[in-house]
Amino acid sequence: MTNNTLADSRLELRIPGLNTSVKIRPRSLGFNPWRSELTLVDLSANGMALISPTLKLEALQKIDFELNSGGRTTAGRAVVCYSGQNNSQQRYGFLFIDTDADFDSFLTGESFSSIELKRLGEEMAEQFMRRRQSNNGEFFNVQNQRMVDAVSALAKRLGQMGLTINTDSGSVQLPADALVVDKNGGISLPIKASDSNEIIRTHISLLHSADPSGVSYRIGDGLAFTNIIDLLDHLCHCFEQIAQP
């Protein structure tokens, strides 16, 4: 089978697969059972992408498909327009030939739960930002966003459990309210200065490590951490130093 037989170049908005299950059945002479060992990558108005460890399809082969999410089901027919490798699994792109009457409401997300809608918003934001970034910076920017997400989640949870902190502006705030995400995607927070009792605002920087695929995290001009767990543990200590009694 020829990889990239037709480019998977759908221009429509792609919705992440989330918790949508998919099964397909090749259309050909004889009996073809439904196959469900598949993972839906994304879905758009005119096509979808999925990966499978075992499925073997030919270019331009037609299939029946069925999608299910939150008890809502939609079905139709599609044709293979792309095939390639994705982490040792086969990835396929399909263009829809026809869909049933339920497809439009399925695509608009009416069946999504609150958790799925939250993740959908995050995925679409990440897709948008990746389109604005160069290929060379993609890994670095993804790691930066993961750091921001982790620090934000830590600060939010500390506040939910009753922690309030003194800030560099002299006010008392919840930890999450004291965080500032800058326009480049970095994040800053108040911490106690190492050489005084002053509370200062310090930026967490993401740095390329010696390993081309690795990063490290530096707080201001001081401590650097090679993994996110050590960074979060240190931030707990920082919040403790400026916590309200």
Q: Considering Cα of 105, then 107, then 112, then 118, what sign does the dihedral take?
A: negative
Residues 112, 74 share a domain: yes
In a domain, 133, yes or no: no
Residues 148, 112 share a domain: no
In a domain, 7, yes or no: no
Mean model confidence pLDDT for the chain: 81
* pLDDT (tens digit per residue) in 6-54: 455 555 667 777 778 899 998 877 678 899 889 998 888 889 999 998 8
Greater model confidence, 73 or 114: 73
CATH of the domain at 39: 2.40.10.220
Does the pLDDT at position 63 exceed 90?
Answer: yes
Does the pLDDT at position 177 exceed 90?
Answer: yes
Residue that is last in its domain, among 85, 119, 153 = 119
Q: Could you tell me the residue range of the domain that residue 230 belongs to? A: 138-241
Closest CA to 21 of 38, 45, 35: 38
Q: Round to whole Å and give the CA distance between 65 and 149.
A: 35
Does the pLDDT at position 188 exceed 70?
Answer: yes
pLDDT at 229: 87
* pLDDT (tens digit per residue) in 91-150: 999 999 999 988 887 777 655 666 666 777 777 776 676 666 554 455 556 777 788 888
Residues 95, 172 share a domain: no
Q: Round to whole Å and give the CA distance between 190 and 73.
A: 49
* pLDDT (tens digit per residue) in 190-230: 999 988 889 999 999 888 766 655 678 888 888 888 888 89
Does the pLDDT at position 235 exceed 90?
Answer: yes
What is the domain count for the chain?
2
pLDDT at 3: 47
